[in-house]
Each structure stands twice: as C-alpha cells, then as structure tokens.
Amino acid sequence: MTKLKVGIIPQIINSESENPYKDKYEFVKFYSKCLYAANAIPIGLLLNDNKVELSSLELCDAFLWTGGNRISKNLYEILFYAYQNKRPVLGICMGMQALCLFSVMTEEILNRGLNYNNLTNGKWQEIYKEMAQNNPTLTKLPEGNFHNNEITRTSYEQALYPVKFTKGSFLESVYGQTYDVLHMHSVQVVRTGCLLAPVAYSMDNVIEAVESQDESLFWVGVQFHPEVLKEDKLILSWVKKLTK
C-alpha cells in the first residue's frame, strides 16, 4: 500500500538580525517521529522567498499544521489549497487556531458574497483585520488558568487535564468520552466558522478540539499536544483513517 505523504507546515522565523542565516524554517522533531511511527512520510514544506510553491503542495496527500508562537498569514494559502482540493488537515495547538481563523474568514467571505478566487491580498487583509477587531476568533485566556503549562523531557504530568469529547466524533473514537490531554496554550478559540464545529471541551468550557462538518473535508484541530505522549494515538489513528 502506498504510504501517506503528509506536508508539515513550518514555523517561519524572520530575524531582525543583520545575519541572514538567522532567517529559518523550523520543524519540531516530535511530528515527523509520530508520522514515521504511523507508517507515513513527512514532507517539510519550504517556501520560495516566503511564497508557497504549488508544486510542493501537490506532492502531499494531507497536511499537518503544528504548534508554535505566531501564525504566518502567507501560510493560509496552504489551507486554501487543502480546502479547494479536499485534502485532509490536522491542526495542533496553534494549528487548530489557524484552521478556525481560516474557517471564520471563509464564513465572512461567503456572507459578503465575495469570490475567494478573485479576492486580492489587500482585500483579504482588510477583512481579516476588521474581523479581528470587531468579532475576534481568538482571545487570551485569563491569568492563573491551568492551560498554559511548561514541560520537560521527564516532567509533563502537571500539564495533563481532562477533556470531554462529543459522542460520534472522530476524536471520541480515538480517546473515548474523556481523556487527560497535554495543555500548553495561552490563547483560546471562541469562534469556529462555517467549516468547523467544536467536538471537545475542557472542564472550564474552553474549546479543545474541532472537526469539519462537510464529509468531503476531513479537517481536525486539537488545542492540546498529542505528539508529546507515547500513549497518545491521535496521529496514528488519523493516518490509519486516511489510509483505509
């Protein structure tokens, strides 16, 4: 059987240093390790002078948007490609936030009767800024919350908290109705847009996972970190579902 080829979306580091070698694409090893363990092939998506290359996206059967500190707006072009071509996407932590932002933007564009294909970059940015100011998708969690944790190679139990999953969801088939997941985030999703719906909540009612509602679009986003724990089977289950 042909192995699933998964494009990993990088963190873009544009340094303000005079040293041009400080500008980098960053990939955390956890994700490729999990994909190899699931018998999939990870493909790091490298941009061409900060522009997405269509030819590199065409190599991929699915995409994985990983966690990080900053969502680079030019990477939304990858989600647009996945949306148009019905490619599965798994978003983890910041990756889930990016999925929700794209879903809300799609809802906004459709509500305004605009055509995605004819949308200029300037108009896209205008809508994005207006949406962020008037009806934000992401908000900061309050101080003293249990979601924002730090872990080490040998210490992670302090970051484990239960999440409840919606019956009948893909994630419920992976985890059951409740499962202790690894929390490491300071931002929460408050809107999920027209493409996604919440399928998991933490004990303080923060949205912890989303799934696409269109059967032809298999998008899954989780606010927690399944890649860290050996016993967490999400990435393995995701790959298995796509290679049935």
Q: What pLDDT sits at residue 1?
A: 59
- With a cut of 90, say whether residue 69 has pLDDT above it: no
Phi-psi region of 200 (alpha: psi -120 to 50; beta: other; left: phi over 0): beta
Helix (H) / strand (E) containing 164: strand 160-165
Of residues 132 and 88, which shows the higher confidence score? 88
- With a cut of 70, say whether residue 222 has pLDDT above it: yes
Those residues with Cβ within 8 angstroms of residue 142's Cβ, 6 or more apart along the chain or in another chain: none
Joined tokens for residue 20: 């041009």
The arithmetic mean of pLDDT across residues 132-147, rounded, is: 89
- Class of residue 107 by CB neighbours under 10 A (exposed 0-12, middle 13-18, buried 19+): middle
Q: What pLDDT sits at residue 74?
A: 80
- With a cut of 90, say whether residue 102 has pLDDT above it: yes
Joined tokens for residue 148: 């924002």
Joined tokens for residue 125: 């940015």
Of residues 192 and 50, which shows the higher confidence score? 192
Q: pTM value?
A: 0.94
Position 215 confidence tier, pLDDT thresholds 50, 70, 90? confident
The arithmetic mean of pLDDT across residues 165-191, rounded, is: 96
Q: pLDDT tens across 26-37, in order?
A: 899 999 999 999
Cβ atoms of 13 and 47 within 8 Å: the answer is: no
**What does the mean pLDDT of the chain come to?**
92
Q: Cα(101)–Cα(208) distance, rounded to whole angstroms? A: 15
Domains and CATH numbers, the chain: 5-242 (3.40.50.880)
Q: What pLDDT sits at residue 97?
A: 96
Q: What pLDDT sits at residue 147?
A: 92
Q: What percent of the chain has pLDDT over 70?
A: 100
